[in-house]
């Protein structure tokens, strides 16, 4: 059926038309729209008017569709994680530049050999006598505070939006995984093996193309249970964790609430592996 309906009962009402367009299940309809049919029925008087009507239907459907996709519960979290990662990059960049600046004005300064933590170092510069350097350092410190705050917000939001994944690997890592995948509905359709190497794409493709060793883990390495594990079980652990994450993602996407039984089971399995490896 065309958007304007069956012969004899044509209508160009936007919401009725949208309903008809949605109902269509045919990928290759036998009969496409023919504007002269509407003209003969007296509903449009010209080609331009036909285009205006079909355009109105399509536009309103598009607006509805966009509104629906924006109101999905993960949209906010996705933007927050991306903002956090961007902030990280900016802070690192500024810190590096400021360190360089400080070294070039202070002969006895060497960050490389005095091993000061970068935050500590910035704090010292913030008390220095050079006024412009001091201002920059203060800005960096305030950005760092902002970052800490945002990180807490992300964790809190993740606990709410993706409770099962967050319970497994912590809100931050869970949110980062979801953001890398592109959204909750996408990660919930991913194979565990894909989740395992999310964030290690370049290693994965060089493995596929050139046969270099395959990556064991991507973003999930950031989770303490993976990076604290002994080297020889890390891959195995990453695999198990990824498969549990895949299930968790599906729980989060389709049920949306914490599943205690699943979590207890998953944690037990992971802990067992840790025990064996000790």
**Cβ nearer to another protein, comparing 51 with 90:** 51
**Cβ nearer to another protein, comparing 62 with 264:** 62
**Cβ nearer to another protein, comparing 183 with 235:** 183
- What's the closest the beta carbon of residue 105 comes to another protein, in angstroms? 41
**Cβ nearer to another protein, comparing 197 with 229:** 197
CA dihedral 223→227→229→230, nearest 10 degrees, is 170
- What's the closest the beta carbon of residue 195 comes to another protein, in angstroms? 20
**Cβ nearer to another protein, comparing 57 with 187:** 57
**Cβ nearer to another protein, comparing 53 with 99:** 53
How far apart, in whole angstroms, are the C-alpha atoms of residue 83 and residue 87? 6
**Cβ nearer to another protein, comparing 78 with 151:** 78
How far apart, in whole angstroms, are the C-alpha atoms of residue 13 and residue 95? 59
Site of interaction with another protein (CB under 8 A): 1-3, 20-21, 24-29, 32-35, 47-48, 51-52, 54-55, 57-59, 61-63, 65-66, 69-70, 205, 208-209
- What's the closest the beta carbon of residue 225 comes to another protein, in angstroms? 32
- What's the closest the beta carbon of residue 15 comes to another protein, in angstroms? 14
- What's the closest the beta carbon of residue 32 comes to another protein, in angstroms? 5
- What's the closest the beta carbon of residue 41 comes to another protein, in angstroms? 16
How far apart, in whole angstroms, are the C-alpha atoms of residue 154 and residue 247? 22
- What's the closest the beta carbon of residue 22 comes to another protein, in angstroms? 8
How far apart, in whole angstroms, are the C-alpha atoms of residue 5 and residue 39? 14
């Amino acid at each position: 059926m065309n958007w304007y309906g069956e012969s004899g009962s044509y209508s160009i009402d936007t919401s009725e038309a949208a309903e008809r367009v949605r109902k269509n299940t045919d990928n290759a309809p036998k009969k496409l729209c023919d504007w002269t049919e509407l003209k003969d029925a007296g509903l449009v008087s010209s080609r331009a008017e036909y285009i205006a009507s079909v355009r109105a239907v399509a536009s309103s459907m598009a607006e509805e569709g966009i509104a629906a996709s924006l109101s999905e519960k993960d949209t906010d979290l996705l933007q927050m994680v991306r903002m956090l990662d961007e902030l990280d990059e900016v802070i690192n960049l500024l810190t590096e530049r400021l360190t360089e600046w400080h070294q070039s004005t202070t002969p006895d300064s060497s960050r490389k050999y005095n091993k000061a933590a970068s935050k500590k170092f910035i704090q010292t510069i913030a008390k220095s006598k050079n006024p412009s350097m001091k201002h920059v350092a203060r800005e960096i410190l305030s950005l760092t505070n902002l970052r800490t705050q945002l990180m807490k917000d992300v964790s809190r939001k993740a606990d709410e939006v993706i409770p099962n994944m967050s319970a497994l690997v912590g809100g931050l890592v869970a949110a980062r995984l979801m953001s890398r995948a592109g959204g909750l509905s996408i990660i919930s359709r991913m194979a565990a093996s894909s989740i395992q190497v999310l964030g290690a794409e370049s290693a994965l493709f060089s493995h596929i193309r050139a046969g270099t060793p395959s990556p064991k883990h991507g973003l999930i390495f950031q989770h303490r249970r993976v990076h604290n594990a002994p080297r020889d079980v890390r891959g195995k652990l990453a695999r198990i964790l990824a498969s549990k994450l895949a299930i968790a993602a599906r729980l989060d996407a389709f049920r949306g609430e914490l599943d205690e039984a699943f979590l207890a089971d998953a944690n037990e399995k992971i802990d067992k592996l840790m025990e064996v490896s000790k």
